[in-house]
Structure 1
Amino acid sequence: MNNYQNSILLSVPVSHVYDALTTQRGISEWWTPSCEVGTTVGELITIRFGETFKVMRIESLRPQSEVCWSVIDAQLVVPGLTRTDEWIGTTIVFQLSSPSESTTRLDLEHLGLTPQIECFEVCSQGWTHFLASLKNYLETGKGMPYTEPSAE
């Protein structure tokens, strides 16, 4: 199985990256402002992108080194997808390391998000976008989180 994996190098201290992954403000600035973010192991994180949502249980919070969530509920509303619940049962692991005091390497592995599932391509593109958003948020103060489409 080839789980989705991606790594980015961030020009900020590891504590800033950890905060962006574990706080309401952080997640709303790079992923989606429509979120409720628990802060301790066992609590839930709910994120919404219009009709699409994901509910994740916090499995591990190791300050400055790891954040792990298991997806317990999800609905992917994407044109052309017939399986809307493929994230359920997957696990998202962020590993953090510090090559220097002012840089952080983030390694993301989404266990269960494999090429064999229907949403792999669209979800991979989503992760690529949101990791770039995280980088922009941390390095410039301005992320590219999901925003509701304008009513026309």
Structure 2
Amino acid sequence: MDSFKLDLLMAAPASIIYEALTTQRGIQNWWTTASEVGTTVGQQITIRFGDTYKVMQIEALRPFTEVQWSVSEAHLVVPGLTRTNEWIGSTIVFQLTPHSGALTLLQLEHVGLTKQIECYEICSQGWNQFLGSLKSYVETGKGSPYVEQPSA
């Protein structure tokens, strides 16, 4: 069972990418504006996309090299999706490796997000979209996060 993996070369130093992955401001600028972000191992990160949400515990923070979260709660609201909690028990690992100049290789592995689970396609598309937003954010200062719409 192969987990979802994505490698992206970013024109930004590892320190900037690490900050985007580990701070409230960073997460809100590339992933979703509806989030609460803990900053130390053992704390939680909660992200929301309307009625969809995920709660992750911070498992590892290795400055400028690795960020790891384990998903403890999840509810995916997607038309046609019958299993809404498939992220629970999965682990998200970001590895950062400096390259020449100011280039950094970001390697994402979402352990447990496999082709055997129902949300694989939609969740893979989501990772591709939001990691593109992260790349834009760290390279230009402008990402494309999900923006929570106020209730009417």
TM range (shorter): over 0.9
Structure 2 gaps, min length 5: none
Quick one: distance in 1 between partners of 2:100 and 2:36?
32
* Counterpart code for 1:14: A
Map of 2:89 onto structure 1:
89
* Counterpart code for 2:113: L
Quick one: distance in 2 between partners of 1:101 and 1:71?
34
Quote the offset at 1:148 in angstroms. Answer: 3.5
2:118 aligned with 1:118, yes or no? yes
Map of 1:140 onto structure 2:
140
How does the TM-score come out when normalised to structure 2? 0.97
How does the TM-score come out when normalised to structure 1? 0.97
2:53 aligned with 1:53, yes or no? yes
Map of 1:4 onto structure 2:
4
Residue correspondences, number: 152
Which shows bigger deviation, 44-53 or 97-106?
Answer: 97-106
% identical equivalent positions: 63
| Contact kept in structure 1, 2:20 and 2:27, CA below 8 Å | yes
Deviations 1:81-134 (A, max 9, x none): 000000000000000000134111000000000000000000000000000000
Quick one: distance in 1 between partners of 2:48 and 2:150?
16
CA RMSD after TM alignment: 1.4
| Contact kept in structure 1, 2:24 and 2:37, CA below 8 Å | yes
